[in-house]
Amino acid sequence: MFELSGIDVRYGAAQVLWDLSLTVAPGEVVAVMGPNGSGKSTVLKVAMGLKRPSGGRVMFDGADLTQAPATARVGAGMSIVLERRRLFPRMSVRENIEIGGFVLPRAEIRRQMDWVLSLFPELRPHMDATAGRLSGGQQQMAAIARGLMAKPRLLLMDEPLLGLSPALQQRVFALMREINDRGVAILFNEQNAKLSFGLSHRGYLLESGRVVLTGSGTQMLDHPEIRRVYLGEAAA
Amino acid sequence: MTGAILIETLLNGLITGAIYALIGSGIALIYGTTRVLNFAHGEAMMLAAYAALILSTTAGLPLWLAALGAILLVMAGGVVMQRAVIAPILAREDWSFRIIAATIGLSIFLQSAAQLIWGEGFSALPYFFDGVLVLGPVRMPWQRIAILIVALVALGLSALLLYRTRFGQMIRATAQDAEAAEAFGIPAARVHTMVFALSAGLAAVGAIMLAPLLSVNPWMGVPYILKAFAVVILGGLGSFGGAILAGFLLGIIESFGVTLTSSEWRDVISFGLLIAVIWVRPYGLFSTREG
């Protein structure tokens, strides 16, 4: 369904991703885990067309989207929940969510909005409020709602748990499961190994812009290196 | 100050303010959406006035048709300017200073080109409306009243476009976070281009309504661009509504200042107010936050 192969990315003279490859199959939840500065967010930016790779290919449903702008990728069935929500703070919650469905015909936007709001009933009383006035948790709900508006078959989520309380993290996790149960594949990144691989079917561990480990969620959680470095367990 | 002078002064302030609002709101729109300070905005005024003059006197078009043609031509010029000069610089990293240098350079280039093509002579566009409005002791030429009415219509239509249409939604989203807007399929680069066209159109409306009262010359945009920048700062950098309110406010303050003192004090009053506002409210009179 989705494939990054041999991706290199540079910011000026600095290379941040090296020969990175990953795949997402239909209906899969895939986690990209790694420490700060490992290149996790860049992976999602490349996937969404917000950063052009200097080498490699981006494929979606058999089409080569490497040079395609984000607009074309949204039309093809991809969408994103951006890091730190990045709602449009001076626009209403309704407008923010509508913009998520920008590529849809107007009548369909209304239908999709009803479906999305059935997932996020807590947003209904705040639809006319400016997004900047919502709490952090409500903003994350609105950001996920916006990401779902374009009817994606692949939803990219850039650190969806960042800055949320443990209770809200559980709520977002439950939502991710529910979204996935409805047939949407998810590629997300996260710093917390337990959370990342606990939810995902498969995962990738990134260090300094390179994939250093990959496997099923359970395999990743059981891997001695992950247990030692990222879960803080003493070596056996 | 008698009642008639009070009303005339207020009307004059509103009329001057309408021009400041038209020019300033265009600069604010461009800055708010692209973070570009466009120093060549005054030359959009100058080109619009020349285009209307040539279309009406040389090509012989009716004045209103010449005005409409000039506005469309200048909007197309805004598109060319953004595509040919601004966009290539924005595509590079660290463009903030380069873009200022480029727009100042473009401003000088256009003034010099106009001087070479049309000379240093001063011309005037014919009046759109003759006669004087007489309301008791208050007398005001219809041409000046028309400036206020046309400006209010143009600004009102622009506000409707911004806040009631899908295109306006695209502009506001791009202004707040261009990358996020792009992530949802909004073509931010095309929005930037359209914003330049819209802003050039607003400047053209102001210039064409003003041209019968002023001389059309290569430097006619210069005093207005300085005032427009003052308006943009007073209104809150990048705020479309703030620039409109600040434009009218500055016009009214100038008008009363000049009535109470003399016309030599006009710029002292305007820029004195600007400095005072920068001291007291650096984020502008109509903005609630800094930056």
Give the closest-approach CA distance of A10 to chain B in angstroms: 13
Residue B100, beta-bridge partner list: none
Q: Tell me: the pLDDT tens digits for A22-47? A: 999 999 999 998 888 888 899 999 99
Give the closest-approach CA distance of B172 to chain A in angstroms: 8
Helix (H) or strand (E) holding B162: helix B142-164
Give the closest-approach CA distance of A222 to chain B in angstroms: 35
Q: What was the pLDDT predicted at B289?
A: 58
Q: Between A79, A91, A149, which is nearest B172 by CB?
A: A91
Interface test with B, best of A71, A108, A112, A144 (most B CBs within 10 A): A71
CB neighbours of residue A104 within 10 Å: 20
Give the closest-approach CA distance of B26 to chain A in angstroms: 20
Residue B144 domain flag: yes
Helix (H) or strand (E) holding B173: helix B166-176
Please report residues of A whose CB lies closer than 8 A to that of B93. 12
Give exposure, A140-174, as e/b (b: 16+ Cβ within 10 Å).
Answer: bbbbbbbbbbbbbbbbbbbbbbbebeeebbebbee
ipTM for the whole complex = 0.86
Asked if A204 and A28 count as a contact pair (C-beta separation under 8 A), the reply is no
Whether the predicted pLDDT of A19 surpasses 90: yes
Give the closest-approach CA distance of B178 to chain A in angstroms: 10
Q: For chain A, percent helix, then strand, then coil, each to nearest 5?
A: 40, 25, 30
Q: Which domain holds residue B114?
A: 3-280
Is B186's CB within 8 Å of A102's CB?
yes
Band (pLDDT 50/70/90 cuts) for residue B291 is very low
Asked if B95 and B106 count as a contact pair (C-beta separation under 8 A), the reply is no
Is A80's CB within 8 Å of B183's CB?
yes
Q: Between A71, A91, A95, which is nearest B187 by CB?
A: A71
Give the closest-approach CA distance of A71 to chain B in angstroms: 4
Residue B286 domain flag: no
Domain A20-77+152-236 architecture? 3-Layer(aba) Sandwich (3.40)
Q: Distance of CA A197 to CAs A23, A192, B278, Å?
A: 16, 9, 53
* Residue B48, CA atoms < 13 Å, CB-side half-sphere: 33
Is B184's CB within 8 Å of A88's CB?
no
Please report residues of B whose CB lies closer than 8 A to that of A99. 169, 173, 181, 184, 186
Residue B88 domain flag: yes
Interface test with B, best of A50, A83, A88 (most B CBs within 10 A): A88
Q: What was the pLDDT predicted at B288?
A: 65
Whether the predicted pLDDT of B95 surpasses 50: yes
Q: Where in chain A is the domain with CATH 3.40.50.300?
A: 20-77+152-236
Q: Tell me: the pLDDT tens digits for A149-161? A: 988 999 999 988 8
Residue B288 domain flag: no
CB pairs under 8 A between A and B: 58
Q: Decide: helix, strand or coil at residue A4.
A: strand
Q: Tell me: the pLDDT tens digits for B112-134? A: 999 999 988 778 888 999 899 99
Find the chain B residues whose C-beta atoms sit closer than 8 A to any C-beta of A: 93, 169-170, 172-173, 176-177, 179-187
Q: Tell me: the pLDDT tens digits for B163-219? A: 999 999 999 999 999 999 999 999 999 999 999 999 999 999 999 999 998 889 999
Give exposure, B30-62, as e/b (b: 16+ Cβ within 10 Å).
Answer: bbbbbebbbbbbbbbbbbbbbbbbbbbeeeebe
The domain that holds B235 is classified in CATH as 1.10.3470
Closest chain B residue to A96 measured between Cα atoms?
B173
Band (pLDDT 50/70/90 cuts) for residue B273 is confident
Number of domains in chain B: 1
Please report residues of B whose CB lies closer than 8 A to that of A88. 172-173, 176-177, 180-181
Is A102's CB within 8 Å of B184's CB?
yes
Please report residues of A whose CB lies closer than 8 A to that of B182. 50, 69-71
Closest chain A residue to B184 measured between Cα atoms?
A100
The DSSP result for B15-61, as a single string, is HHHHHHHHHHHHHHHHHHHH----TTHHHHHHHHHHHHHIIIIIS--
Beta strands A210-216; A202-207: pairing state:
antiparallel
Please report residues of A whose CB lies closer than 8 A to that of B180. 82, 86, 88
Q: What was the pLDDT predicted at B45?
A: 95
Whether the predicted pLDDT of B284 surpasses 90: no
Is B177's CB within 8 Å of A86's CB?
yes
Q: Tell me: the pLDDT tens digits for A62-109? A: 899 999 999 899 989 999 999 888 999 999 999 999 999 998 888 889
- C-alpha A47/C-alpha B118 separation (Å) is 53
- Cα-Cα-Cα-Cα torsion A48, A51, A54, A59, nearest 10 degrees, comes to 10
Q: Tell me: the pLDDT tens digits for A180-225? A: 998 899 999 988 888 888 888 999 999 889 999 898 888 888 888 8
Please report residues of A whose CB lies closer than 8 A to that of B184. 70, 74, 79, 99-100, 102-103, 146, 149-150
Please report residues of A whose CB lies closer than 8 A to that of B186. 71, 99, 102
Interface test with A, best of B184, B239, B289 (most A CBs within 10 A): B184
Lowest mean pLDDT: which of A139-148, B27-36, B86-95, B150-159? B86-95
Whether the predicted pLDDT of A136 surpasses 90: no
Is A74's CB within 8 Å of B184's CB?
yes
What strands, in cross-sheet order, belong to the sheet with A55-60?
A: A14-24, A2-11, A55-60, A63-64
Band (pLDDT 50/70/90 cuts) for residue A235 is low
Give the closest-approach CA distance of B278 to chain A in angstroms: 24
* Residue A10, CA atoms < 13 Å, CB-side half-sphere: 5
Q: Between B93, B182, B185, which is nearest A12 by CB?
A: B93
Reported in sequence order, the residue ranges of chain A that DSSP labels E, i.e. its strands, are 2-11, 14-24, 29-33, 55-60, 63-64, 78-81, 154-158, 185-190, 202-207, 210-216
Mean pLDDT in chain B? Answer: 91
Tokens describing residue B81: 């300017």
- C-alpha A114/C-alpha B190 separation (Å) is 30
Residue B289 domain flag: no
Is B183's CB within 8 Å of A70's CB?
yes
Handedness of CA A163, A169, A175, A177 (dihedral sign): positive
